[in-house]
Amino acid sequence: MKTLIIIDMQNDFCPGGTLEVKEGDQIIPVINAIQDDFELVIATQDWHPENHGSFASNHPDKQVFEKTDLDGLEQILWPDHCIQGTKGAEFHPDLEMKRMEAIFRKGMDPMIDSYSGFYDNGHRKSTGLAGYLRSRGASELYFCGLAADYCVNYSLRDALEEGFKTFLIADGTKAIDPGGFNKIQKELEARGVNSIFSSEVY
C-alpha cells in the first residue's frame, strides 16, 4: 500500500510561526495536490508541553540554538513552539485534512525531544507509527512536510530502519538550512531513500 506521511505541517513551522521554515507554506499546494494518489494518508504533529526541555525559555542560562544535555542526549534549544492547545500547534489552515486517517503526536515527554514520527530522539519510546503502518499493510512510505533537515530527515531514517521502502518528495519539503540539507539528502539516498518529485507520484 502506498502511504503519504505529512510531517508537522503546523503553524509554528510556517512563516509567522515561532520556529518558521522559510517559505514553508509554499509546499502546501504540492501536498494537497498529491493526496488523492495515495491509498493511505497520515500526519505527524509536534505536541509539546509548556515545560518541554527543548525550549530555551526553560533554561534561563542558555540562549536559543545553543546546545545542552537533556537527560543524557545532546539537545539543540529551540524557541517555544507547537505548545499543546495553541494556534501554533495547529495544522496550517490551507492543508487539506479530509484524506487523513490518523495523526501521530510526538514530543509530549518534557525530558526528551522527538524529531522522528516513529521514535523519540533516544529511541526509548515508540509512537506506535510503525506498528500502525504494518497493520494497515503499508509497504511504500512517501514523506513530505517540515522541516526537511530535522523531523523529515529523522523520520526517513527510522522508516528505513523499520524496513519500509522509503521515498522523499523533494518538492514537498523545505529545510531550515537548505545548504546543509543537500548533504543530508545525499546521505539519505546512499542509505536507500528514493528522492522523487511530486510529478513522479502516480
What is the predicted pLDDT for the residue at 73?
96
How many angstroms separate the CA atoms of 77 and 56, rounded? 5
Domain that holds residue 103: 2-49+80-200
Calpha distance 135→129 (Å, rounded):
10
- Which cell goes with 175? 529545510
Residue 57 within a domain:
no
Tell me whether residue 34 is in a domain.
Answer: yes
- Is the distance from CB of 173 to CB of 143 less than 8 angstroms? yes
Average pLDDT per 10 consecutive residues for the chain, totaling 202 residues: 98 98 98 98 98 97 96 97 98 98 98 98 97 97 98 98 98 96 96 97 86
Longest dimension (CA), the chain: 51
Q: What is the predicted pLDDT for the residue at 149?
A: 97
- Tell me the Ramachandran region of residue 165: left when phi exceeds 0, alpha when psi lies from -120 to 50, beta otherwise: beta
Query: Please, where are the H alpha helices in 67-108?
Result: none
Structural domain contains residue 158: yes
Give the CA angle between residues 8, 28, 90 to the nearest 5°.
40
Please tell me the distance from the alpha carbon of residue 88 to that of residue 119, in angstroms, as a whole number: 22
CATH number, domain of 147, equals: 3.40.50.850
How far is residue 119's CA from residue 125's CA, in Å, rounded to a whole number?
6
11 found inside a domain: yes
Q: Does 19 fall in a domain?
A: yes
Q: Is residue 102 part of a domain?
A: yes
Residue 98 in any domain: the answer is: yes
pLDDT at position 202: 80
Residue 104 belongs to a domain: yes
Helix, coil or strand: residue 23? coil
Domain count, the chain: 1
Active site residues: 8, 106, 151
